């Protein structure tokens, strides 16, 4: 059914979700625990084939290809099981926004999202009863280039949950429209650009057709300063509008050492200290359970030093894997967002019957500047991973993929790996002896003490090599201690 939108056919209200796709959440660096929403004016609705104006004096007009739900009958306090029955149709939407006007309105997005023409919908409707809401796809093209391509398998919150949640707080009325969020790939468009959005259900062969919008320059001199806040942009707005600092033409935010939380000097010291010496110093300070047990280095001659970025797998449950295993899941997000100098530490519960990473993800971590990977699970494509050269510690090799034993569940929380608790930002050090976890508040003290102990142990080793007995020397009694102190201070 071809849909043309006139004033009489406008929805009573348009409700939009702030963040709903895992890929977009990873891009923004935050993953919400529950959906949040904002309203758009119904006067912002436009039909396919129309134009949208970028106001004079602004620079950050951005597109957002989205799946739009059209409510078919009123929904008030409906449960999750019945929520989808209240959706009549699905179509394509472009949730256009002007980042130049976000600051004054905070999260309400009133001025940045409700301008005339900022909600193109259509062109066709898909009967919601004929498709599986978990198997929809949204794609966006700018000037013919595909820039967004994702499916509802990547949603943080299923479409039915969004409908049910909203109905707890207000009545969704017939004809209302819900914009269900955009995946990664949203970016800035300029006058002359043509944006196309399509929603389809590949399994059913149903499609909304391509929603086409052309960007033009707005007339006049911009905004009257006597009436309200003026457009304003900074590098944060530019980064979010364009999708990355690189796309916005901005320099890197910080060097690798600062990004990892370790200064170059401290990193150098950690690279010199054996893990055994660090373990000894931590034990003297009451920390005995800080070794990641059961893991072996792929490159025993490579030192691992960095700060933890965590990833957790939970035991396989087929229904949960169907929801969380596909798309831009937690595993992919962890490897795609790891910072320079960070170590991806993976909780796999010691389960070695499946790989927890392979060569593609190892390459991605290396390209991001990661310091290495530690997993108490398996590695697939082990020879290829080893060839990448990234320091990797694992419990062994296994050819199977995640779905045999694991569900990728969460990136960024506190985890257990090889019997040790690991939090994001903990200092991770590995060598041929194993891997240890150092609380960041103790690292300077522990490293200084370990270096001092290494000097002392080297002096003792020289005396033993000269023929001295270890009795009274290891550990040193008062006589040997006096001799050592005297030579050290000379």
Could you list the residues known to form a binding site, using ranges: 358-361, 380-381
Hey, what are 433's tokens?
């002896």
Hey, what are 349's tokens?
């519960």
**Angle subtended at Cα 71 by Cα 138 and Cα 35, rounded to the nearest 5 degrees:** 60
Cα distance between residue 363 and residue 196, in whole Å: 33
- The SS3 assignment for 160 reads helix
Of 246, 242, 224, which is closest to residue 233 (Cα–Cα)? 242
- Binding residue positions for substrate: 358-361, 380
- Binding residue positions for Mg(2+): 381
- Which residues neighbour 346 within 8 Å (Cβ) at sequence distance 6 or greater? 310, 311, 312, 313, 356, 357, 373, 374, 375, 376, 377, 415, 417
Q: Are 41 and 97 in contact (CB under 8 A)?
A: no
Q: Are 196 and 215 in contact (CB under 8 A)?
A: no
Cα distance between residue 234 and residue 184, in whole Å: 21
Beta strand extents in 18-79 (DSSP E only): 37-40, 45-46, 50-54, 61-62, 65-71
Cα distance between residue 158 and residue 143, in whole Å: 31
Of 237, 249, 110, 247, which is closest to residue 185 (Cα–Cα)? 247
Cα distance between residue 247 and residue 253, in whole Å: 13
DSSP 2: B
Of 438, 423, 420, which is closest to residue 266 (Cα–Cα)? 438
CA-based torsion, 169, 175, 180, 186: positive or negative: negative
Cα distance between residue 128 and residue 151, in whole Å: 16
Cα distance between residue 117 and residue 110, in whole Å: 14
Hey, what are 476's tokens?
């040193």
């Amino acid at each position: 059914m071809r849909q043309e939108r006139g004033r009489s056919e406008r929805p009573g209200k348009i409700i939009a979700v702030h963040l709903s796709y895992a890929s977009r959440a990873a891009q923004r660096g935050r993953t919400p625990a529950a959906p949040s929403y904002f309203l758009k004016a119904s006067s912002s609705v436009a039909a396919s084939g129309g134009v949208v104006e970028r106001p004079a004096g602004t620079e950050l007009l951005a597109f957002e290809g989205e799946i739009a739900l059209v409510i078919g009958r009123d929904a008030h306090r409906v449960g999750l099981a019945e929520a989808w029955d209240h959706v009549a149709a699905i179509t394509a939407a472009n949730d256009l926004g002007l980042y130049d006007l976000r600051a004054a309105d905070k999260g309400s997005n009133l001025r940045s999202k409700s301008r005339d023409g900022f909600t193109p919908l259509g062109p066709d409707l898909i009967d919601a009863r004929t498709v599986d809401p978990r198997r929809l796809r949204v794609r966006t093209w700018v000037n013919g280039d595909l820039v967004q391509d994702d499916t509802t398998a990547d949603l943080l919150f299923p479409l039915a949950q969004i409908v049910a949640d909203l109905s707890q707080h207000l009545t969704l009325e017939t004809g209302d429209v819900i914009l269900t969020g955009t995946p990664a790939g949203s970016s800035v468009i300029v006058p002359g650009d043509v944006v196309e959005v399509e929603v389809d259900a590949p399994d059913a062969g149903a499609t909304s057709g391509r929603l086409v919008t052309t960007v033009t320059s707005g007339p006049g001199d911009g905004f009257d300063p006597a009436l309200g806040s003026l457009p304003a942009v900074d590098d944060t707005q530019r980064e979010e509008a364009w999708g990355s600092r690189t796309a916005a033409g901005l320099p890197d935010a910080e060097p690798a050492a600062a990004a990892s939380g370790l200064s170059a000097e401290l990193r150098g010291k950690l690279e010199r200290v054996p893990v055994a010496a660090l373990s000894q110093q931590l034990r003297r300070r009451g920390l005995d359970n800080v070794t990641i047990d059961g893991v072996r280095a792929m490159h025993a001659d490579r030192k691992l030093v960095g700060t933890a970025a965590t990833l957790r797998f939970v035991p396989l449950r087929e229904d949960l894997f169907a929801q969380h295993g596909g798309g831009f899941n937690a595993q992919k997000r962890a490897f795609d967002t790891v910072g320079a100098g960070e170590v991806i530490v993976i909780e796999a519960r010691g389960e070695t019957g499946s790989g927890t990473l392979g060569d593609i993800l190892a390459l991605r971590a290396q390209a991001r500047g990661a310091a290495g990977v530690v997993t108490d699970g398996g590695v697939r494509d082990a020879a290829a991973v080893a060839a990448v050269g990234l320091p990797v510690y694992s419990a062994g090799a296994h050819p199977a993929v995640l779905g045999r034993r694991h569900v990728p569940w969460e990136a960024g929380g506190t985890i257990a790996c090889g019997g040790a608790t690991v939090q994001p930002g903990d200092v991770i050090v590995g060598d041929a002896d194993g891997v240890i976890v150092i609380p960041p508040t103790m690292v300077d003290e522990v490293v200084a003490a370990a270096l001092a102990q290494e000097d002392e142990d080297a002096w003792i080793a020289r005396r033993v090599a000269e023929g001295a007995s270890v009795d009274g020397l290891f550990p040193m009694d008062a006589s040997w201690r006096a001799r050592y102190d005297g030579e050290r201070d000379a």
